[in-house]
Amino acid sequence: MTRENLMSQFRGLFPAAITPLTADGKVYEKGLRQYLEFNIQAGVHGFWLAGGTGESVLLDDEDNRRVAGIAADQNGGRIVNIMHVGAATTARACALAEHAADVGCESICAVPPFFYTPSDDQVVEHYKAVGAAAGLPLFLYNLPAATNVDLTPAVVQRLRDEVPQLQGLKHSSPNFGNARVFAEMGLDCFIGSATLMLPALTVGCCGLVDGPPAFAPELWLNVWQAYQAGDLRSAEAAQRRALDVYGLFTSDYLATMKYIVGLRIGLDLGGPKETRNTLTDEAKAELRSRVEALNLEAVTPA
């Protein structure tokens, strides 16, 4: 994939990938590969790897590196991987960014430095360093509910002007209106909520990054394809249908994601890295029943 082709590929459905884990909390390679392949075969345009849904902040750096390497290998140039390298320190983020480039990821993304709320100048310097470390297209990850840092239009404008690698961002802030502002800056702005895919497309967003579509990618691909064809009525119907899936994720998000994706592909993908999120047998039975009621096509395990 040439750089010119790559730069045109940041469009469409990019599931926020889970990180399947073994019983001892390590990356489950077979599960990750099969899960990614299921989505590739469904027609997704790329992946957002090791973000919030992928539990990167709970994994050690070696496990995050394994995710990057496995995903780049499984992709084989067929789709675009955006690997999350965000960390609380610039040095760690830069090291993960360098590794992502070395193993063949097409792009990187990163939350701003968190915990100690940084100044705007510190955010800019952080992203300058991370972008330079990889030399790849860079996406900001605007997730203020988790980072306590909201990337405002003023800060993003500075980043656009001062970080040459900046390609776009995932916008997961409650301020939906800023999505249009970012798009009008010439940035590739992915909306970060699957409930808002269609309205986001109408204000200039380039696509969707969220976890739930990884369970039923075909439903959100229907939204994308209808909108691209100019069939707004079909796109609206597809968005409503997709929301039936989104309704599964009412609590214990990470545990629910792994369980229902596992149901879809026929593998036990483990639980969250931290055991505080667990599903009882009763909860699993209810989820299985609700998944079956969605009447999705069966998947033959690889």
CA–CA gap between residue 107 and residue 140 (Å, rounded): 11
Is 170 designated active site? yes
Let me know the angle formed at the C-alpha of 191 by 211 and 8, rounded to the nearest 5 degrees.
Answer: 100
Residue pair 211/181 in contact by the 8 Å Cβ criterion: no
> Residue 250 carries which DSSP code?
S
Cβ–Cβ under 8 Å, residues 217 and 208: no
Active-site position among 28, 35, 128, 170 = 170
Buried b (16+ CB within 10 A) or exposed e, 251-288: ebbbbbbbbbbbbbbebebbbbbeeeeebeeeeeeebe
Catalytic site includes residue 246: no
DSSP state of 297: P
List 28, 127, 141, 246, catalytic entry: 141
Q: How far apart are CA 145 and CA 141, in angstroms?
A: 12
**Backbone torsions φ then ψ of 55, nearest 5 degrees:** 65, 30
- Token reading at 277: 């999120």
CB 45 within 8 A of CB 190: no
Q: By the 8 A CB rule, do 198 and 236 touch? A: yes
How far apart are the C-alpha atoms of 269 and 97, rounded to whole Å?
26
∠ CA 55-297-264, rounded to 5°: 30
User: What residues act catalytically?
Assistant: 141, 170
